[in-house]
Amino acid sequence: MKLWGGRFEKETEALVHSFSSSLSYDRRLAAHDLRVSEAHALALEECGVIDASEREAIVAALGELRAEMERGDFAFADEEDIHTAVERALVERLGEVGAKLRAARSRNDQVAADMRLFVKEESRRVMALLLELMGVILERAREHLGAVMPGFTHLQPAQPVLLSHHLMAYFEMFKRDAMRLGEAAARADLCPLGSGALAGVTFPLDRGMMADELGFGGITANSMDAVSDRDFVADFLYALCVLSVHLSRMAEEMVLWSTPRFGFMELDEAYATGSSIMPQKANPDLAELVRGKAGRMLGHLVSLLVMLKGLPLSYNRDLQEDKEGLFDAVDQAAAMLRVMTGALATATFDVVRMAEAAGEGFTNATDLADYLVRKGLPFLEAHAAAGRLVRACMEAGKRLEELSLEDFRAVEPRVDEDVYEHITVSACLNARDLPGGTAPARVEEALAEAEAWLESRRPRP
């Protein structure tokens, strides 16, 4: 059926109708679309296009539609999109009164408003899940305060660190994600209603009132931009993308740490999966899927940006392609957060294995060089001397701390008996005693700060 009145003599080809219909997915915007229509009805009443009783009838009918949709018994027909489905149902119920609601608006400003409401709401949902994961990170970090592990660069043993310091590196990443989510929500927080198809409308709608009704912080400034702007979707997708990149990095460490070759972590059985052929396997599939999905998230961001880049002002139907990627991205992000939160909360850390590994691979070589600096050597010479001592250890199959004083002095005569107390794992940790460092006292400070930050962000009851 043609909804757009008298201009056409032909019905739309079925193929074209199904090709262009978005109802199968934009029905997800139904609740937002109904709210937008209520605000519009109020504005129409204020400027005399409908009277109070008509507005009341419209709002009551919109309420019925909402209830039916929530119960799942609203009868969608084969409409082009959610906006036409709602309008069709209103006209069915209210006749002429229902048909009045289309005055002074367009699906172009309507869908922009729906999308902005959606982004605002979903960013809150993702934020709540993110804060939960951050809470679990802090719990595990506090529980394991004191546990040591090797820190890596290039995935080669580098210097000892606290497990809590390592875990809290993720807290910092997620803290930035929380800020990005908040910024994306703020970018979406302007109401485009009143922009009409592109140029504004000829009735004096109270745009500020509609924005207030819908909980927006303000109104958009330019009608042509407002109907074609999806930057707020790009901002949100970018925030979700970076978040999923962080989740993916964490997932990669779960994969590494849970392989027996590392043996740092064991996933709870409820979070590991078996093999159809190898009876011994307990695989970290969930972490691998998180890692895999990060690519899909980036795909959604790239699709949106590429879709936007060639659009002339103002609205173009290409913009309808903004939805499925967004919906999928937000669902995937929520699922990834949930599963990582559960996996991290239930995983077991093998702190004995980690502590052993912390001292393997000459992770105290930097501290030996720093010791020599304190004895007066320029760092370049200290580095070279420590390197020669590492070499000697490799040949003798020893650790640095297993060398005799004579062995040390053969390479560098300024070494004293006190060298041994400077190259233990705990000396290495304690020495990094500056803000941001891994010294236990600093990590405890950072943990307390992180806990306070999280507490301040938790939604109040």
Q: For residue 422, indicate whether it is catalytic.
A: no
SS3 of residue 311 by DSSP: coil
Q: How far apart are CA 50 and CA 205, in angstroms?
A: 12
d(CA 25, CA 252): 33
**Judged by CB under 6 A, which of 220, 320, 332, 364 binds ligand ARG?**
320
**CA 258 – CA 336 distance, rounded (Å):** 19
Pair 228, 319: CB distance under 8 Å: yes
- Shortest CB 172 distance to ligand ARG, Å: 38
Angle at 311 between CA 245 and CA 27, to 5 degrees: 65
* C-alpha R_g of the chain: 30
Confirm or reject binding of residue 43 to ligand ARG (CB under 6 A). no
Between 108 and 244, CB nearer to ligand ARG: 108
Name the residue with tokens 């009704």.
213
> Which of the stretches 64-72, 244-252, 317-325, 362-370 binds ligand ARG when contact is defined by CB under 6 A?
317-325
- Structure tokens belonging to residue 228: 């074609």
Out of 108, 164, 244, 341, name the contact with ligand ARG by CB under 6 A.
Answer: 108
Contact with ligand ARG (CB under 6 A) among 45, 81, 87, 235: 81
Check residue 195 for interaction with ligand ARG (CB under 6 A). Answer: no
* Binds ligand ARG by CB under 6 A, chosen from 7, 154, 317, 460: 317
Q: Which of 113/358 has CB closer to ligand ARG? A: 113
| Helix, strand, coil fractions of the chain, as percent rounded to 5 | 65, 5, 30
Six-digit token string for 202: 């000829």
Q: Which is nearer to ligand ARG, 318 or 449 (CB)?
A: 318
Identify the residue whose tokens are 């290409």.
318
Question: How far is the C-alpha of 426 from the C-alpha of 424, rounded, in Å?
Answer: 5
Restricting to residues 209-248, which ones interact with ligand ARG according to CB under 6 A?
A: none
Q: Considering 83, 154, 164, 422, which one is annotated as catalytic?
A: 154
* Cβ-based nearer residue to ligand ARG, 112 or 423: 112
The closest alpha carbon to 109, from 190, 164, 183, 178, belongs to 190
Which region among 165-173, 204-212, 243-251, 314-322 touches ligand ARG (by CB under 6 A)?
A: 314-322
Give the binding-site size for ligand ARG (rule: CB under 6 A).
10
Q: Does 22 bind ligand ARG (CB under 6 A)?
A: yes
Residue 271 contacts by C-beta under 8 Å, 6 or more apart in sequence? 286, 339, 342, 343, 346, 347
Minimum distance from residue 233 beta carbon to ligand ARG (Å):
12
Closest CB 76 distance from ligand ARG, rounded Å: 14
Looking at the DSSP assignment, which residues form a beta bridge with residue 265?
A: 349
Please name which of 205, 204, 207, 177 lies closest in space to residue 191, comparing C-alpha atoms: 207
Query: Binder to ligand ARG among 319, 344, 368, 386 (CB under 6 A)?
Result: 319
285 contacts 340 by C-beta, under 8 angstroms = no
Binding ligand ARG (rule: CB under 6 A), the pick from 35, 66, 107, 442 is 107
Is-catalytic flag, 154?
A: yes
Distance of CA 456 to the CA centre of its chain: 19
Catalytic residue among 18, 24, 53, 275: 275
Instruction: Quote the least distance from Cβ 328 to ligand ARG, whole Å.
Output: 16
For the bound state, the minimum distance from the C-beta of residue 106 to ligand ARG, rounded and expressed in Å, comes to 7
Footprint on this chain of ligand ARG (rule: CB under 6 A): 22, 26, 81, 107-108, 111, 315, 317, 319-320
Catalytically annotated residues: 154, 275
